[in-house]
Structures are given as structure tokens and as C-alpha cells.
Amino acid sequence: MNSGEIARLAGVSVRTLRHYHRVGVLPEPRRRANGYREYAVGDLILLLRVRRLTEIGVPLDEIPALLGSATHADSVLEQLDAELAAQIARLTARRDVIARLRAAGASPDTPPELAGLLGAYDATGLPPALLAQDRDLSILLHHLLDEDGRRELRDFYVALNRPDLLAELSALSGRFAALDGETPERERDELLAAYRRVFARVFAGGYPAIHAPQVDPLFADYGDAMFNDTQRAFLARMVADVQHAERDTRARPGTPGA
């Protein structure tokens, strides 16, 4: 048999056959006088064994030792089985995430814990730019926070995910988007008070601990890119207000951590 014939019988390409020779998995057969390789039935059987091993995932560099030793087989198969089990677990988890995103109608880049929650904001009538900012911030926070922080972030969105609150926050966000250097200080104070009333109503038992002070420079850079000077100053006041409320909550008699 020549290269084309044995490759066809074994169900591999001639290129694969030559690669097996090159890496030493399949010994080179003798050559005819004209220089072409001459394959025998034994070569075909060996090629079929190599093909079978590659199909179940045996690495090429493991094949020569496996073919030459029956005692080596069990350890190789055990390792393969463990690797496949890990792959199945990863793929199962990935499919679960995809199913959650599809069920929620969420974008593929949405953190799975927030699937179905961020989507509720799309129906609030907020300007697309604000919706995009909120989504960007949620993705950044989800990446930077630890497991407890991510749970608090989800709880934050769950607490706000009520039609009445979403409508109110939509109106407040529109007012925030309009903040600029011409906005009177009185209007800024009124807006901060309005936000305070909403958050106090939602988080009566304490604010969620979703702060990530170790990444303050990143948030500063984000704020520089997304907000004007007036909006950044307003957000700083809001953060300080929330932190003050948290300290008050912790200091109340009978409050855990007081």
C-alpha cells in the first residue's frame, strides 16, 4: 500500500499520516526502489490503534509508551477519565449559565448572578447612555468584588427591582443626567435628598456592602471618562452620604456589629 491507500483505509488524511511519522508515533515503513513508502497490513493495524487512541484523547507523546506496555494503560485511562470529568463539569456549568441568560433574555456578557435583574432597567425608559453606564459598572463591580461582595451586589439589584422603585429611580437618573455647571445648588441638594429617601426606604436594615475601596483609582478613571465635573461631585456626595448612613446603622443599639 502507498500513503494514499493506507490513509484512506484507516480513515485519516495523508497529512495526518505524515505528522504521525514526523512525531515518532508511527514508525517509517520501508521504501520502494522509487523512494515511495511501502505499507504492510501491520502498518495499517498500528495506524488504526493510534487513531483509536487519539480519538479517546490520548496525547500523541503518550501513545508510544501505551502501545509498548499493557501496564501503562490503566494510569493513562485514569488520567483521561479525570480530565474528561473536569471538562464535563466545566461544560455543564457553562451550559447552566447560558440557560440562565437565555431564560432571562439577558445579554451574553451579563454576569449570570445579575441575569434578569439588569434587564428590568431596560424597560424603565432611561436614556440608553445611562443604561449602558449602569451595565458597565455592574460588570466592573462583579469582576472586582469577592463572593460576598457579588452577593451583596445582587441583593442590591433585587431590592431595587420593583416597578415603583424603578420608575422613581428612572426619573432621578434623568435628573442626574441633566446635572451640569449651570444646575443650582438647591436642585443638587433636592436630588440628593430624593435619592436618600429612596435608598432609606429600600435599605431600612442597612446598606449593602458593595464598596471596593481597593479599586478606587479604577472608579476614578471611569468617572472621569463618563461624567462631568458636576456629576462627579454629586456622586462623591452620594457615596459619603451612604457611608455615613452605614455608620449610623452599625452604631444603633442592637445592630450587629454595633
Q: Give 124-141 pLDDT, tens digit per residue.
A: 666 677 677 777 877 877
Band of residue 245 on the pLDDT scale cut at 50, 70, 90: low
Same domain, yes or no, for 181 and 212?
yes
**Same-domain status, 78 and 120:** no
Residues 44 and 74 in one domain: no
Grade residue 85 by pLDDT with cuts at 50, 70 and 90.
very high
What is the per-residue pLDDT for 105?
A: 80
How many domains is the chain partitioned into structurally? 3
Q: In angstroms, rounded to a whole number, what is the distance separating the alpha carbons of residues 62 and 54?
A: 10
Q: Which residues contact 228 (CB under 8 A, 6 or more apart)?
A: 179, 180, 181
Share of the chain above pLDDT 70, in %: 81
Q: Is the pLDDT of residue 243 over 90?
A: no
User: Residue 38 sits in which domain range?
Assistant: 3-68
Average pLDDT, the chain: 81
Largest CA distance in the chain: 99
pLDDT band at 160 (very low <50, low <70, confident <90, very high): confident
Of residues 131 and 91, the one with the higher pLDDT is 91
d(CA 191, CA 235): 11
Contacts of 120-127 with CB under 8 Å at 24 or more apart are: 120/161, 120/166, 121/166, 123/166, 124/166, 124/167, 124/169, 124/170, 125/170, 126/170, 126/173, 126/174, 127/174, 127/177
Least confident of 48-62, 161-175, 197-211: 197-211
Q: Decide which of 104, 128, 158 is a domain's last residue.
A: 104
Co-location of 177 and 194 in the same domain = yes
Residue 256 belongs to a domain = no
Question: Across residues 205-221, what is the average pLDDT?
Answer: 59
Is residue 258 domain-resident?
A: no
Average pLDDT over residues 170-194: 90
Rounded average pLDDT over 239-249: 64
Say whether both 170 and 181 belong to one domain. yes
For the entire predicted model, the pTM comes to 0.59
For residues 203 and 225, membership in a common domain is answered with yes
Within this chain, do residues 24 and 122 fall inside the same structural domain, yes or no?
no
